[in-house]
A and B are shown apart, each in its own frame.
Chain A
Amino acid sequence: MSTPRLVPNPTKRRRNLTGGRRAGFGSYAFLALCLVIGFLPFYWSFLIGSGDSGTLRDPNRSWIPGANFLENVGEVINNPTVNFWAALRNSIIVSVTVAASVVFFSTLAGFAFAKLKFRGRGWLLTAVVATTAVPTQLGVVPLFIIMSELGWTGTIGAVIIPNLVTAFGVFWMTQYLGQVLPDELIESAQVDGANSFRTFWHIVLPSARPAAAMLGLFTFIATWTDFFWPSIVLDARNPTLPVSLRLLQANYFVDYSIVLAGALIATIPLLLLFVLAGKQLVSGIMQGAVKG
């Protein structure tokens, strides 16, 4: 009791200076268990992916990884039917383009909705929110017909175009800009003679950076992991990573070592991005939920 910081009494434990309740051993143990469960599939895929073709079937396999990981990775990236390098390149192009475009157009529209006065603003914004209720997935049949009429099936344009701007992005940026950007800043820029696009470029875009980072990351991840539409509109000759992984499964269904090595390496780029920028994403998700 003489050292209350080390041996807190039960009532003090629930309160501290910031008003939050301090976590007990139970919270840490529970969260640690969740992390272990979250991490286990990664380890399992590394375990099998680093063994030879018989590892999955071996009932006495150990929990220590084998030595074949690089060999299995080589098998994946050099396999002509899977087209790994093309898939990686396509995934990067598609995800970067879509993320950049969603951020740009959403910020632009968000600026208009949050800071410009125009007729019909209220119901147009309502219309944006209402469109989120329309599941675009259900339009796949005609969208596919349109794409094949245009001759775009099999090209990554067919994956990029439908995703260039999202209702979520517009709503998100409207909320954010409405809250952080003072009207006076916009007005003073206009008094100085800046037209609205210059105002957008020099004032709005820089101040949108935190929300734009989250929106960009989120869009990047969603695009990178997207499977349904790309699997319909792309084929083996020009896939994205998820499509190519699917081909790997269909071609190698007996050899899980290679399939899981492929699954793991296709995830690595996103893992790296997450380690570098995950903080932004986490705080962004939390911020959005409070306001939304």
Chain B
Amino acid sequence: MTTLRPSHRESPENHQASPPQPTRALSSRFARWDKKYSAYVYILPFFVLFALVGAIPLAYTAWVSLNDWSLIGGQGDFIGFDNYVAVLGERNFWIALRNTLSIFIIQVIPQLVIGLAIAAALDRNLRNGTLWRMGVLLPFIVMPVAVALIFNSLYGDQYGLINTTLQSLGLPTVGWHSDVLPSHIAIATMVDYRWTGYAALILLAGMQAIPRDYYEAATLDGAGSLRQFFSITIPQLRGTLIFVIVTATIGGLQIFDEPRLFDDQGLGGPDGQWLTLTLYLYKLGWNDLDFGRASAVAWLLFCLIAIIALINLFITTRIASSARRKRKGE
């Protein structure tokens, strides 16, 4: 209010020197109202929608998780933390947790390394640069469902392209749908197929903000491309790298589409080989019809994401500050 007042006192007098007539008075009242409140009206849709589909459901999830609640019967008795106890006592929860973390780690490292390599290549002065960038982004527009169906057939245990190629080379075939680690690798490649180009473009944008004279000075000092990459590009890119890692973490821990579509049952494999936490949540809610336990999983997953995000933040700020100290020391 205090910040608004001065301009408000001024504006009516400035614009309307003549004594206000009835219609004038109405319009100036509207103008004053407009100036004071319309900004709130403009931002209102976001907050209303967020409350309806973000905040309230999340709080409601906490309430549902404390009740015996089924898809068909609706709300049952209040049972406190029994759902959490039950979920934490289930073998499938721990399998899903292990799978989620495993797929995430297998997925995120190549995504960053290859993404950085692509970005570094695109950062050069390329002929038809935009076309190359578009080409790299192309996989991003394919539906995850389509990617999953396609990769599913590529990774077919018996007839897939990868296994038939291995066979023709005289190598043993891999049980992509029967073994744990191979299924995680297969799912991680689907995620990377879609996201590496996108990550590369964001990293490229960060790279282009690095002053070019750093490289010129380094070249004059006799530093090679690789040395320049590790001594200039990577440290200068810290902020963008953090952004990419945090985004990949939040998305990666909620992974659903690819494991759901990795076979036609969509339940994470006969022995939970690629059952992830979100898939487990889905299975509890819409297959076992137990909304209470599904909500408990949702909250556990939320805590996991928050913890990992905090660890991320802690590590990256430590790295950032130690790097700053080192630079000052030099």
Q: Are A20 and B124 in contact (CB under 8 A)?
A: yes
Q: Are A142 and B264 in contact (CB under 8 A)?
A: no
Q: Which of B85-93, B97-105, B150-158, B317-325 contacts A (4 or more CB under 8 A)?
A: B150-158
For A172, list chain B residues within 8 Å (CB).
Answer: none
Report B138-154 CB contacts with A as 1/0, cut-off 8 Å. Answer: 11111111110111011
Chain B's closest residue to A217 (CB) is B141
Instruction: Name the contact of A263 in the complex, choosing from B149, B158, B250 (C-beta under 8 A).
Output: B149
A118 on interface, CB distance cutoff 8 Å:
yes
- Smallest Cβ distance from B234 to chain A, in angstroms? 16
Assign chain A's interface to a size class: 35 or more
For B198, list chain A residues within 8 Å (CB).
Answer: 285
Report A208-251 CB contacts with B as 1/0, cut-off 8 Å. Answer: 00000000000001001101100110000000011001100110
Report B274-312 CB contacts with A as 1/0, cut-off 8 Å. Answer: 000010011001100001001100110110010001000
Q: Are B53 and A161 in contact (CB under 8 A)?
A: yes
For B21, list chain A residues within 8 Å (CB).
Answer: none
Main secondary structure of the interface of B (DSSP, over half): helix
For B124, list chain A residues within 8 Å (CB).
Answer: 20-24, 27
Q: Which of A11-19, A66-74, A78-86 contacts B (4 or more CB under 8 A)?
A: A11-19
Residues on A lying within 8 angstroms of B by beta carbon are 11, 14-16, 18-24, 26-28, 30-31, 34-35, 38-39, 41-42, 44-45, 48, 56-59, 105-106, 108-109, 111-113, 116-119, 121, 124, 127-128, 131, 133-146, 161-162, 164-165, 167, 170, 191, 193, 195-197, 200, 221, 224-225, 227-228, 231-232, 241-242, 245-246, 249-250, 253, 256, 259-260, 262-264, 266-267, 270-271, 273-274, 278-279, 281-283, 285-290, 292
Residues on B lying within 8 angstroms of A by beta carbon are 1, 3-4, 7, 15, 30-31, 34-36, 38-40, 42-43, 45-47, 49-50, 52-58, 60-61, 64, 114, 117-118, 121-127, 130, 132-147, 149-151, 153-154, 156, 158-159, 161, 164, 167, 193, 197-198, 201-206, 208-209, 212-213, 215-216, 219, 240, 243, 250, 254, 256-257, 260-261, 264, 266, 278, 281-282, 285-286, 291, 294-295, 298-299, 301-302, 305, 309
